Amino acid sequence: MSAVERPLIYANLRKPGYTIDIDCYIKHGGYEALKKAVAMKPDEVCKEVEISGLRGRGGAGFPTGMKWKFLDRKSGKPCYLVVNADESEPGTFKDRQIIYKDPHQMLEGIAITAWAIQAKQTFIYIRGEFQHGAKILENAIAEAKAKGFLGNNILGSGYSCDVVVHRGGGCYVCGEETGLIESLEGKRGYPRIKPPYFPAVLGVYNCPTIVNNAETMAQVKHVLAFGGAEFAKIGIPGDSGTHIWGVSGLVKRPGLYEIEAGKATFGQLLYDFCGGPLDGRTFKAIIPGGSSTKILKFGERFKGKLPNGQEFDWALEDIPLDSNSIAACGTGLGTGGTIVIDDSVEMIQALSNLNAFYAHETCGQCTPCREGSLWLSRVSKRITTGGGLESDVPLLLDIANQVAGRTICAHGEAVAWPVQSAVPKFKDEYLDSIKRRQKGESVPTLKLI
Amino acid sequence: MSLKPSTLSQADTIIAQYPQKRSATMPLLHLVQEDRGFITQEDMAWVAEKVGVTPMQVLEVVTFYPMFRQQAIGRRHVKVCRTLSCALRGSYALMESLEKSLNCPRGETSADGNFTLEFVECIADCGCGPVVQVDHALHENVAPEKASEFSEQIKNSLKDSNYGKNQPKPGTPEWNG
């Protein structure tokens, strides 16, 4: 069966002649879902999102409706909505499209969400590098306010919510929700300890806060447009809606592919949509959902049981593109940012490239992450420059094992997982890389570090 | 204080957007940097006073975020993405070529003051790698083979009196920046 795309989020922005202005958006049915939402009680909107089964699109895949339920309503403090548009997980480039090509879709989702949780104010935390993107959003917000979709007295409901675009400063850890909140408060983006700092209880300004990913906001618009129960029929039980697969690296047609959850496989994504490997090459591995997810190797067999009890025995190409199936193979759907590696790549260089990223981006609060990420980066780099020892391979694993689970935020896992997953799978190749250099033999020409 | 009057006048509007003034720290720092090109101690003291913190607390922020800088840079700021997706598409080879053609080692400013060339981490455009951000513009698919053509384009922009002043059109590097 051949797989097809089902664009939901990207449906309009791909149309020729589609523009970012509000008139174009309204012409394409824009802000009708918001009208539907404000005609409902906020709790009813929350309920629709809950029954839709929508899971957050920022990487962790937490059910959005359940997240909203955690809001501390008893404190009497105002609550805030913070939209995480700090797209910075390597391999991830899906939110950029929404911001630059269809900002109102996201804003409509924001207005619906703000109404549902009765947010006092909304902040869109956008990557500092998205300079023009921030301007596009600011203009779109002004347009939406002028038409009564945002700002004062939204659609005559008596409810008001202002939206402020807040630019970051080029820091990966600010994509972590509590680091983001600190940053939004005008501080260094040091993630906070949970407990007590669960954003839904103690978020921005120590008030209850919902932090949702930018694409999640766009998905919420469609939840309301379809209705929760109808939306839940898109995809598969346990993972509804579409996933945007951002494929990068060594394939013929890198790009963004929006596919109904569970309705295609990695094989179909990489061969049918992306055109397969570059001429004369073969696929070697993928990092399936952003650089922090665990690597999968071609030729591996994945066996086990899905949450519904179904047993499976898959090659990488057979894995269905839904969060449960991918998790069952020992990795994660993450952000859907799939990085493709072929046989021209020396795996130790690929690992060293990512280690350098995490070492650069550690915030430095927790010693295991601060020191561990730097050690991993230096040890893997010294292998690539010819100073590696055979004992460096178990050393990498040993260091990674001392980082994961020992830090305030998930950056520790992000540091450790690429190493913990790659070392067992590519140990022999790493040893070969070390020996080649010791003997002065040639090494692959593609430089990655 | 040599900031433009328009910069100074925007400060209060920005601060008023936030329930707590301190949240305006980063927006004000961006504003200052866009005006002057970098951030001075005097600027930090000004931001501190505006948002009600100590200058040290502003310095903490300036030194945490890679986008903020305390020194002047070249007339063109060339940032090549180094992270895996772009590296797989040749960003290291691209960087080596640009170092030669712009006569500027990575991480430094060229002797003539025209270029600052840097490797940066992922800028979220991985499907079009290698990507290079030059000031306000994001250039996609800058394959290593295109390095000399690309560096000529950057050099030519030095003579363009309208550089950075045009309204961006959809799909252009200026739009994507």
CA distances for B44 relative to A28, A133, A158, B8, angstroms? 46, 26, 40, 13
Contact: A186, B92; criterion CB under 8 Å: no
d(CA B65, CA A262): 39
The total number of structural domains that make up chain A: 3
Whichever domain contains A153, its CATH number is: 3.40.50.11540
What is the dihedral sign for C-alpha B63, A290, A322, A270?
A: positive
Give residue A244's pLDDT.
98
The CATH number of the structural domain formed by B5-64 is 1.10.10.1590
d(CA B49, CA B28): 11
Give the domain-ending residue among A178, A212, A233. Answer: A233
- The CB density around residue A17, as the number of other CB atoms within 10 Å, is 5
Query: Which residues in chain A have their CB less than 8 angstroms from residue B136's CB?
Result: 131-132
Say whether the peptide bond before residue B19 is cis (omega within 30 degrees of 0). Answer: no
d(CA A268, CA A250): 16
Q: What is the mean pLDDT of residues B45-56?
A: 98
d(CA B6, CA B17): 18
- Whether A354 is in a domain gets the answer yes
- Whether A14 is in a domain gets the answer no
Give residue A2's pLDDT.
76
Does A121 lie at the interface with B, CB-CB under 8 angstroms?
yes
Residues A153 and A285 in one domain: no
A110 close to A141: Cβ distance less than 8 angstroms:
no
Give residue B2's pLDDT.
85
Residues A110 and A183 in one domain: yes
Position B12 confidence tier, pLDDT thresholds 50, 70, 90: very high
Q: What radius of gyration, in Å, describes the C-alpha atoms of chain A?
A: 22
Q: Which CATH class is domain B76-176?
A: alpha beta
- Whether A1 is in a domain gets the answer no
- Kindly state the tokens that stand for A1: 């069966």
Query: Which residues in chain A have their CB less than 8 angstroms from residue B89's CB?
Result: 248-250
Residues A318 and A358 in one domain: no
Residues A284 and A398 in one domain: no
d(CA A12, CA A15): 5
Residues A246 and A229 in one domain: no
Residues A264 and A227 in one domain: no
Contact: B17, A164; criterion CB under 8 Å: yes
Query: Which residues in chain A have their CB less than 8 angstroms from residue B57's CB?
Result: 187
pLDDT in tens, chain A (449 residues): 578 999 999 999 999 999 999 999 999 999 999 999 999 999 999 999 999 999 999 999 999 999 999 999 999 999 999 999 999 999 999 999 999 999 999 999 999 999 999 999 999 999 999 999 999 999 999 999 999 999 999 999 999 999 999 999 999 999 999 999 999 999 999 999 999 999 999 999 999 999 999 999 999 999 999 999 999 999 999 999 999 999 999 999 999 999 999 999 999 999 999 999 999 999 999 999 999 999 999 999 999 999 999 999 999 999 999 999 999 999 999 999 999 999 999 999 999 999 999 999 999 999 999 999 999 999 999 999 999 999 999 999 999 999 999 999 999 999 999 999 999 999 999 999 999 999 999 999 999 99
Nearest CA to CA, how far is B30 from chain A (Å)? 8
Q: What is the pTM of this model?
A: 0.97
- The domain of A373 spans 347-439
- Whether A428 is in a domain gets the answer yes
Q: b/e for A48-65, b at 16 or more Cβ within 10 A? A: bbbbbbbbbbbbebebbb
- Whether A134 is in a domain gets the answer yes
- Kindly state the tokens that stand for A72: 């501390």
- Whether A288 is in a domain gets the answer yes
Give the domain-ending residue among A342, A365, A390. Answer: A342
Contact: B124, A183; criterion CB under 8 Å: no
Residues A176 and A306 in one domain: no
Q: Which 78-107 residues of chain B touch chain A by CB within 8 A?
A: 82-85, 87-90, 92-93
Of chain B, the end-to-end C-alpha distance in Å amounts to 30
Whichever domain contains A264, its CATH number is: 3.10.20.600
- Whether A430 is in a domain gets the answer yes
SS (H, E, C) A317-350: HHCECCHHHHHHCCCCCCCCEEEEEECCCCHHHH
- Whether A164 is in a domain gets the answer yes
Domain ranges of chain B: 5-64, 76-176
Residues A46 and A113 in one domain: yes
Residues A194 and A289 in one domain: no
